[in-house]
Amino acid sequence: MKLDFHLRLEQSQKLIMTPQLKMAISMLQYSRMELREYIQQELLENPVLEMREEGEKENDDLTDEEKVEDDEFPWEEYLRDSNLDCSLPTFYPKDDPPPIDSYAREGRTLQDDLSEQLRLMSLPRAEYNIASYLVGNLDGNGYLRGNLDELAFSLGASEKELAAGLALVQGLEPPGVGARDIWECLLLQLKRINLVPPPLVEKIITHYLPAAADNRYRYIASRLGCEQEQVQSAIDFIRDHLNPKPGNIYGSGEETRYIIPDLTVEKVGKEYIITASDGGTPRLTISPFYQRLLRTGTDDEQLTSFVKGKMDSALWLIRSIEQRRLTLYRVATQIVKLQQAFLEQGIKHLKPLTLKEVASKLGIHESTVSRATSNKYIQTPRGLFPLKFFFSSGVTGAGGENYSSHSIKNYLQELVEREDSLKPFSDQQMAGILKGKGIVISRRTVAKYREEIGIPPSYRRRRI
């Protein structure tokens, strides 16, 4: 067999992931804030792009003669030659930006409050530095992280000085801050409470706290040689008057307090209308100066090439933003159509839904649906939900009905709320009750869903 080399011309089609295409795909999954940051960066890097204010027309900077000439410029032909299309409709209403109270605002933290209390105490400089250092080592729950010997070594102080500083911190408000474990936290609060606690409270905290968390009243009563009613009274006092996480009352200054929805669903007549809002997102337009420059041309070929490249990039960005809006609108419309029973009747009627199902109805890939629903929120008559909420697995009922995992969890929550605290339902009993409603699931599935929504097992829910 003879081996030889030949040159041969062939035509083939293949998809090439250009940087522009990769960026367009990434933009689809951007949250509102990420998209805003990206647009601001492009405004800094591309001189052809400009930000248009509300109510401002695109050609306000042009003279009447230039506006006529601009209307005669073959923009459609230019766009066609550039393989770009900016004629996609915009579904976002031109409303005023959201009010200032809709945005996240910096809150007061536990460290801020404790530091202010220390400043008001007029402490010596050395004591203040040690106490302030310990405050800085508290976690969000108000607990001190790290051993005293390690903290003393890093601070360059003695363990005795650090212990004195810790006692100072533990005397601040709220009671329980500066504790090194939950036992110390509860005992610190118990010492400073103004009420007279039942006689068994301190013993239960010190020796039987895990058993109390599991409602093992009989076990504790047998160990302490008392009645179960006395044990329950002591545990009820702990639950009602002591806080195992004293720092939680402050929250975190870095948490988002408010979510601005990307879409809003409202019922108008018998139909659900979807509106999208890009409040706070800059609206882009092409600079009139560079429009004139491209129209009239220049003798500098390098400058013309530069302007044309930036123009292509600007038009691609505008098109990508509009395409993102259109895709998000189409996906949300399909979700609302498929989950209309949920909007009408509540979470019990939420249907199981997959990305593939929505993608097939829209004629797009399911990865596109996944990106379009990432980090997006929708305001509905039933409340504010992430778009991912509407995609969940489920089971088919005895009558052929479909039940999503969210609706099953809601059933379990209602069962627990209505159960007798003396005889709470076991997982097997709840599975039987659901079977009577036509929802056939196993005991293990009930246990899985129960744990996901934070419901403890039956022995921990039992009260005497």
Residue 158: predicted pLDDT: 86
Q: What is the mean pLDDT of residues 66-75?
A: 46
Q: Is the dihedral of CA 177, 179, 182, 187 positive or negative?
A: negative
Closest CA to 20 of 37, 5, 40, 42: 42
Helix (H/G/I), strand (E/B), else coil: 194: coil
What's the confidence (pLDDT) of residue 275? 86
The one-letter amino acid code at 156 reads G
For residue range 220-243, list pLDDT tens digits in order.
888 888 888 888 889 888 988 898
Residue 291's pLDDT is 83
Write the pLDDT tens digit of every residue in 161-204: 888 889 999 999 889 999 989 999 999 999 988 888 888 888 89
Report the candidate in 363, 116, 379, 423 with the shortest Cα–Cα distance to residue 250.
116
Measure the CA–CA gap between 420 and 118, rounded to whole angstroms.
48
In the chain, the domains with their CATH numbers are 19-95+260-380 (no CATH), 110-249 (1.10.10.1330), 393-461 (1.10.10.60)
Query: Cβ-count burial of 112 within 10 angstroms (0-12 exposed, 13-18 middle, 19+ buried)?
Result: middle
Give strand pairing partners of 265.
Answer: 274
- For the segment 106-152, what is each residue's pLDDT rounded down to a tens digit? 457 888 888 888 888 888 888 888 888 888 888 888 898 888 888 88
Question: Residue 101 has what pLDDT?
Answer: 41
What are the backbone dihedrals phi and psi of residue 275, each rounded to the nearest 5 degrees, phi first?
-125, 145
Least confident of 162-171, 368-377, 399-408: 399-408
Q: Which of 54-58, 81-85, 171-175, 399-403 has the lowest mean pLDDT?
A: 81-85
For the whole model, what pTM was predicted? 0.56
d(CA 373, CA 376): 6
Read off the amino acid at residue 104: A
| Identity of residue 7 | L
pLDDT above 90 coverage of the chain, percent: 4
pLDDT value for 86: 37
